[in-house]
Amino acid sequence: MRLLILSDIHANWPALAAIDETFDLCLCLGDLVDYGTEPVPVVEWIISNAAATVRGNHDHAVAQRVQARPGRGFRELARLTRTVMWRDLTPRHLKFLSRLPLTQTLSIDGKRLYLVHASPRDPLDEYVANTVDGWRPIVADLDADILLTGHTHVQSQLEVDGRLVVNPGSVGQPRDGDPRAAYAIIDGGKVELKRVAYDIDRTIAQMRASGVDPKAIDIAEPVLRTGGAASDDS
């Protein structure tokens, strides 16, 4: 069974569209929305193609109409782009986001997979240190062979006391120094972390055309072009 693992697409349709993989099942770890300005094709693609999707913190906030707190960096980017989410997403899309589960457990090819956006002990918001010691207390009692998690926008694979902890990275806004869209393939239990270049100019042009506050582009563009980081993760 060939699995396509996606996370943190963040309304960046050109990045998602650049992923050209054959797969038997697509699993999505959340955060379809905010930061970018093309949420509709992203949500539609996930509705049509993902066999299982869990809720990210941004999916939750958009679906529940939570106003983003003022701040800077990513927090400000979320605040500025969220108005575009509410303008463009239909009630059907918002209902889909609101009904996403916090976690899912699947058995595939004899392996038990646990899907969560952030962490099993805090599904929406916890940032876990990307180390064996950081994950060890979290997975100690987890009834799973593979933990699939996103949220950090940093691609990684760790073996923790006989379990795999896999973060496919961010499709739409990598923050690990590589601007290419990140994702993972699991085929027959073997994990492959992958990247693909996409048209970042197209993403920036669409943000400008969307009518979003230009401050959002000022924040997003350097992160998108460098795979770097802004301040105030959210």
Domain boundaries, the chain: 2-103+170-226
Local structure of 227: helix, strand or coil: coil
Span 67-95, average pLDDT: 95
pTM: 0.96
Name every residue whose Cβ is closer than 8 Å to that of residue 193 and which is 6 or more positions away in sequence. Answer: 155, 156, 157, 166, 168, 169, 182, 184
**113, pLDDT greater than 60:** yes
Span 92-100, average pLDDT: 98
Q: What is the pLDDT of residues 131-164, one digit of tens each?
A: 999 999 999 999 999 999 999 999 999 999 999 9
Domain 2-103+170-226: which topology?
Purple Acid Phosphatase; chain A, domain 2 (3.60.21)
Helix (H) or strand (E) holding 79: helix 73-88
